[in-house]
Amino acid sequence: QVTLVESGGGSVQAGGSLRLSCAASGGTFMRLSVGWFRQLPGKEREFVAALTRIGSNVYSPAYADSVKGRFTISRHNAENTLWLEMNNLKPEDTAVYYCAATESGKIRIGENAYWGQGTRVTVSS
C-alpha cells in the first residue's frame, strides 16, 4: 500500500509559477512509475505528466501536449518525492492536481494506481 500526499497548490496570476510536491510512503518508491493528473472544473481527470519506470533507476518522461515546454516532472528516489514544476501558468491550468503511482500498471492512464488527495491550483488572468 502506497500513500501519496500532495502539497504546493495555491493561487497565482497568469504567467506565474508553482511547484507541486508529492510525498510517498509505504512502498519502494524507486520501483514505481509516477505521474501527475488534473481535474478541471466540470471535466474528467486528465493526464498531465509521468515518469515511467523502464529500468533500474531509469525513467522515461512524458507530457500532455497542453503542458509540454511549461511543466517539468521530476523525482528524488532517496527522498520518496515527486515534483511538478509549473511555469508560465495559464487560467486553463486551473484544476485540482493529483499525483499517482503504480508498480504494475500503465501510469499514463492511471492503471492500478495509488492516488493522492489532490491539491488545488488556481490561475487568474
Q: Are strands 58-63 and 45-55 parallel, antiparallel or unpaired?
A: antiparallel
Report the alpha-carbon distance of residue 65 to residue 83 in Å, rounded. Answer: 19
pLDDT tens for the chain, residues 1 to 125:
999 999 999 999 999 999 999 999 998 999 999 999 999 989 999 999 999 999 999 999 999 999 999 999 999 999 999 999 999 999 999 999 999 999 988 999 999 999 999 999 999 99
The DSSP bridge partners found for residue 59 are 53
Query: Could you tell me which of 78, 100, 72, 84 has the C-alpha nearest to residue 30?
Result: 78
Residue 27: the pLDDT is 85
**Phi, psi values for residue 97, rounded to 5°:** -105, 135
3-state SS of 11-65 is: EEECCCCEEEEEEEECCCHHHCEEEEEEECCCCCEEEEEEEEEEECCEEEEEECC
* C-alpha closest to that of 88 among 19, 18, 21, 17: 17
Q: Count CB neighbours of 100 within 10 A.
A: 29
